Structure 1
């Protein structure tokens, strides 16, 4: 036990206020229960957090979904209460070695890949954090001694984390994202850079785009390991997901880190060959007639959408749109234009994208829904064409999350396939 929570047993006289009833909130409550520490959960669909409750609690654990200027956060701060993340709570009660993985794009794939590398080489590891598993929940359930935690950490989670012990960090890349949350690109960068302070040695591996942005801000990160993209293909075909950008660059970080941790090339190669990527990340769905459909619903920012487009040659139709997260949408459309033949647009940003493409002389078709975008894209194909769903925006305007959005896209494509098959059968009868 260390830090401000080392006297936690005396602090248990007051309950802990947990803001949010999602994965992180439930995980925090699970660990607090294990510790015999009373907690109350507050969310906008249930119990409200008031000034009186703020005064009565020991401290506040805030879920990453709460905006930094949320009224409940202001209430807690105004009465002098400390706000922490569930990650900080878990770290205080964990003896496991922790590797932090962060970045704008590809961090979940790198997190799960490294966990796979460890486990298939008889070393114990588990993924936690932004990957969808609460660190607190893992600690509450108990972990085997010596099990490494690969902790995917977002800038949202970093905001309320000030005490975390890690022995290594991989920062994959950096680009525009979450400007609506942080206010500007500089604040977003510093929310990531803050994590470097959690590592107590020199095992920090950074992508080149991280180093470039640091220099723009006048920061020198040369004391850390700056990793260039390695062109090794690891025996994978050109079209494989792990050969695409940014995955291949992120794999280079994983490779350098694994060498530092004692893995040889053969072990790394076996893990690459046997790794099964997470869903909704640039994977092929179906061919319908001359249309080849690709699902990249995990793309929720400009850089990931542009990166996905750059993996294709020839005719490319792009399906995109969703909820704006801030950032320069004009610049995004300017960079998108030379990569695509036609765009099929939907969601809250569909109209703006349509107008920007129209003003630039490009073809954009405004659709009422994602389903309509899939149908219209297919109807516009006259020769072999890749149709890429890499939306570049958040999913919350029309869907629960990117998984719901991706599954919906797959369903609409399969419906097309079924209709196409039925049509051919009728023509032949």
Structure 2
């Protein structure tokens, strides 16, 4: 049994995907989680006869039997258990690299990272490649884990992978043929000892593992990315995109059109900015990155335009829920860091009741101050511990209320609002103090808004 016993740490999407792939490849997987495994994943493990434990790790079992440990990205490499496994010289591999070891050698990988916009950009690129007729899969931080994607019967020629800093922390060989760095802002700094340099290093791993014939596509307007390009050893061909400057090479805006320039005097007009259905500068950056990838792959212009014009807003990102008595409720639960909230606030013109808060990740709220002063009339802090958030904004906004109930937050916001206002759930924090993830938070927000709508209109039903 020792010869093929693999321990998978973490019983979420990543861990369960790795366990399923391990079993398919002839290993005996054992899933171990320090907390309760969600029911939907527990059901999968039981149906596939995969052994598991929850609410703690049996360290003696791992030490005696494991030939390899597959670590889920949500588990920090600094916890004592990981140090013990290293001390015992048991190999630790990421789910991403485990999945890639069983993918086709000829598959092409597009890795997309950044503090914000990863999901939207990954989805846009996926849709463009589908329009082009490419056999494409999408995985990573979006949809299924990569290991589960590899398990599918029809293997793909191209994989679009949304990669978080946590996933990149754990890779040492994983190579993206095209790597994308969308932006770098202060995020997850609680995981990085409040040191942004460590966080930047994680993001740049996607580029430092590339070769000379690979491509790095990056946001020219981001000063931290430009600093990183000078600091880290990068062999790949670098192609920038910008919404602020006309570039000698790369993707840029001129005459309100998006252009791509391959060489000094070779520019190609792609489409007019006004035709893009997803509005706001944050979406424009995502679009520019997607177009740059498409141009690098020589995708037909008609495939790019067709995919972009058919786009609809991503769930939980500036998602309009309902208008109740002239007040618009907007679900931006995916905005788990300050920069995402910045673009949300910037994109709105009507007064805002802002529902924010959660598990702070070492946030610096300073960049929000001008927008909050200009646009926000009240803040509702939603979280178990709101002290840092309240202390920062109490001298900026007159009305700040606190709650740990989403139902109360929605109703407080409704009471404080008047016709023409926006009620915006845009937390700037992770959801883990009250919810399983940002999706659960967003879905519960939408449900509470619907409940409020029925209450206010019950005489009509």
TM-score normalised per structure 1: 0.88
Of 110, 118, 124 in structure 2, the residue corresponding to residue 99 of structure 1 is 110
Deviation string 1:175-196 (CA, Å, 9 cap, x unpaired) is: 0101011222111110010111
How far has the Cα of 1:78 moved from its partner?
1.6
- Residue 4 of structure 1 corresponds to which residue in structure 2? none
In structure 2, do the counterparts of structure 1 residues 53 and 143 end up closer, same or farther at CA, with 3 Å as the change threshold? same
**Unpaired segments ≥5 residues, structure 1:** 1-10
Distance 1:133 1:122, change over 3 A: same
1:240-293 deviation digits (Å, cap 9, x = unpaired): 4x2223121111011111012112332211101113343111021111113111
Could you say which residue in structure 2 is the equivalent of 1:407? 443
- Which residue matches 1:70? 79
For the Cα contact (< 8 Å) 1:317–1:386, is it kept in 2? yes
Runs of 4+ off more than 6 Å: 235-239
> How far apart are residue 365 of structure 1 and its match?
2.3
Q: CA deviation at 1:98?
A: 0.8
Cα distance in 2, alignment partners of residues 207 and 55 from structure 1? 47
Q: Which residue of 2 aligns with 1:306?
A: 342
Root-mean-square deviation (CA, aligned residues, Å) is 2.6
Q: Over residues 289-314 of structure 1, what are the superposed CA-to-partner deviations in whole Å (9 max), with x where a residue is unaligned?
A: 13111111111111111110100113
How far apart, CA to CA, are the structure 2 residues paired with 1:14 and 1:414? 51
Matched, 1:392 2:421: no
Name the structure with the higher strand share. Answer: 2
Give the Cα separation in 2 of the matches to 1:256 and 1:212.
20
**Shift in Å, 1:358:** 1.9
Is 1:137 equivalent to 2:148 in the alignment?
yes
3-state SS, counterpart of residue 316 of structure 2: coil
Confirm or deny that 1:179 pairs with 2:189. yes
Instruction: Identify which of 208, 219, 223 aligns with 2:231.
Output: 219
Summarize deviations over 1:20-43 as a string: whole Å, max 9, x none.
121111111122222212222211
Q: Distance in 2 between matches of 1:147 and 1:22?
A: 27
Q: Which among 116, 123, 129 is matched to residue 112 of structure 1?
A: 123
Higher relative contact order (CA 8 A, sep 6+): 1
- 1:73 deviation in Å? 0.9
Structure 2 counterpart of 1:167, from 159, 165, 177 = 177
Summarize the Cα distance change of 1:235–1:412 in structure 2 as closer, same or farther, 3 Å threshold: farther
Cα deviation, residue 329, structure 1: 4.3
Distance 1:335 1:79 in 2: 52
Distance 2:316 2:443 in 1: 8
Question: Cα offset for 1:330?
Answer: 5.7
Give the corresponding residue for 1:38.
Answer: 28
TM-score relative to the length of structure 2: 0.83
1:389 is displaced (CA, Å) by 1.1
Name the counterpart of 1:3.
none
1:31-89 Cα offsets, whole Å, 9 max, x none, are 22222122222112526241562354222110112123222211111212222111101
Structure 2: state its 5+ residue gaps. 36-52, 244-252, 259-270
User: Which residues of 2 match residues 164-313 of structure 1 at below 5 A?
Assistant: 164-183=174-193, 184-200=195-211, 201-215=213-227, 219=231, 224-229=238-243, 230=253, 232=257, 240=277, 242-313=278-349
Find the residue that maps to 2:231 and give its secondary structure.
coil
1:57 aligns to what? 66
